[in-house]
Chain A
């Protein structure tokens, strides 16, 4: 996973609250066997409408989603984060995130940054008045800047540390690889192995 220090990209105002994971990626896309290439699935229902924000230039090239409160509620599908990342999003700003979504994001390098709703509304205004405005998200200083407006955001220390180090769950566990190796050496001989295969 790429370390996340700071990111600058086009902001996309998504003026909806309670965007659940079914809307982020409808269930029919869960049958796929890949874990990339979900960009077409992102907000698939809404994108049927040509006027939907992600169908419009310059928002279609956006990488910072600025959403209403309670983003990512509903089913725990990890695909929701995959779809956002595949589309090109690096950051989602919202006043409140569903716990599981926030957890899934942190694990996969998508920054879910909490910003007060009144600030979200100021950013929305800026992005609508000046489509294509770049938003800069600085994980170091926990600040978000949009045009002349700047404010702070919240992200817990642990997630921030992981994002900055670019550590996914596996990378984190592998930092203790020596302990795993030591543990393996201490496993009793009677524990079964699948290989070499024995059959009846």
Chain B
């Protein structure tokens, strides 16, 4: 038992603290411990949860209605509206956004969020607002996501915010209600896993390829119960947009959260954003943030290594994000899987995806290219794709849809003229939202339609009933839109020099 500290023995504790502080801790442990309001009792499986304070609660229209209703039924209020923010994203149309929403279920969810935000005094960025967009794009862009914070949202891809060195994870509807009412959450500690990526990415290889390779390596359940920390020289070299892409898909490896230690790149990104600390607060914040990276010698519960030098563009062939291979590879042969479950899953996936085992991935022809989603819809993603398509011609049988992650990203892209590059190429330049990532709005694949998508889930029917999804990076998406088959920019260069020689 720890005695309650009186002013005198606080001094004594501080004096003897160095010994206690000497225990090296991971980034995740530091953030966790700094948010414990009431520690749990016991140890191991029998341990009762710690009560953790939540610094930022982000909401969207799909998982919030019942949470608000629960508050109303119990006569409770929102404890900290000033630590809460909502946006409309899952159901919003990406065309004619000034028109009423046609689908009654979508319209109702959005109207309900508007009513609830009004009733409970919560800041909401609605369709048409310059700050509207996908929750996980909006938080960072406003400077609300910062290192060392706890961030939650009723959405599994909340892990995105971990790119800042925040502990960020998705929660269920009753937990949303819990956070609204108490600004805290009872949680049992997670285990930690280090994912170390050393080396230098080759030209045309991106953060998306890193995370797809990680998931293929550890499997869709490999991260279960863990907070992943991405580290190593290849991660340090990434921009914030790219780190968000990686952390975003931590959940596809089954992990609760993913994190990257904050550094100069992080501070640079946050500085000057609307909600960034200012003046003395900035200095104090940077001092704290700088103390967060994992201490030398801290122990992780598990470790995984990946060689960045070896990595190639990575794409999925199946119906879960772990079913991926290098783009230069072939569609796997189910019989080659030792594990009978993996074999059966591969057989089912090939049938659903209508692919033949052994065929080159690059021979796969797509109907649609989707550039968007909270994984790859930030400015850097749009710039990367635009740089590849500029001055080139789209395959005439491919439709390409570009959906910026937020209205702000769209505005910034337009200021740089990226919208013209996409339109000249023949792509559709849409308004912000989740769009074809999950097809809750009208942006859906038709049955049998095949899509190269920069999103994060290739589950059966995810992008529309019967639709077939290949997860790809923005680089591969752009090259694929040009050639019509799954491609990387190196394929473009090759076919163009052939053309010149001919």
Contacts and interface: CB of A to CB of B under 8 A. Distances in A.
A33 B112 contact: yes
A179 B37 contact: yes
B178 A173 contact: yes
A180 B274 contact: no
A154 B206 CA distance: 54
A130 interface: no
Given A173-B184, A199-B130, 17 more contacts: A33-B65, A35-B70, A169-B186, A170-B74, A170-B177, A170-B182, A173-B181, A176-B51, A177-B182, A180-B79, A188-B288, A190-B282, A190-B285, A191-B55, A192-B55, A194-B56, A194-B81
A39 interface: no
B189 interface: no
A34 B116 CA distance: 13
A34 B66 contact: yes
B277 A192 contact: yes
Nearest to B287: A190
Interface size classification for chain B: 35 or more
Interface stretch (B25-33, B140-148, B258-266): B140-148
Which 3 residue pairs across A and B have the least CB separation, nearest first? A33-B65, A190-B285, A198-B274
A177 B109 CA distance: 32
B215 interface: no
Contact of B51 (A179, A188, A198, A199): A179
A5 B219 CA distance: 47
B123 A34 contact: no
A35 B83 contact: no
Contacts of A180: 37, 51, 53, 79, 182-184
A156 to B, nearest CB: 12
A170 B76 contact: yes
A34 B65 contact: yes
Contacts of B74: 168, 170
A20 interface: no
A194 to B, nearest CB: 4
Contacts, number: 112
A107 interface: yes
Contact of B66 (A33, A195, A198): A33
B67 to A, nearest CB: 8
18 contacts: A35-B69, A78-B173, A170-B74, A172-B186, A176-B51, A179-B37, A180-B37, A183-B37, A184-B183, A188-B284, A193-B83, A195-B82, A195-B123, A199-B131, A199-B142, A200-B130, A200-B131, A200-B408
B275 A192 contact: yes
Nearest to B35: A183
A177 B181 CA distance: 11
Interface string B248-288: 00000000000000000000000001111100011011001
Interface string B69-89: 110011010010111110000
A170 B277 CA distance: 32
A170 B178 contact: yes
B237 interface: no
Contacts of A56: none
B174 A200 contact: no
A44 to B, nearest CB: 18
Contacts of B69: 33-36
A176 B38 CA distance: 8
A48 interface: no
A174 B53 CA distance: 13
A76 B285 CA distance: 39
B81 A195 contact: yes
Contact of A199 (B184, B274, B277): B274
A195 B142 CA distance: 12
Interface in A3-48: 31, 33-36
A189 B285 CA distance: 9
Interface string B126-168: 0000110000000000111010010000000000000000000
Interface string A155-186: 00000000000001110111011011001100
A78 B172 contact: yes
Interface in B108-126: 108-109, 112, 123
Interface string B28-72: 000000000110000000000001010110000000011001100
A169 B38 CA distance: 15
Contacts of A107: 174
A31 B106 CA distance: 10
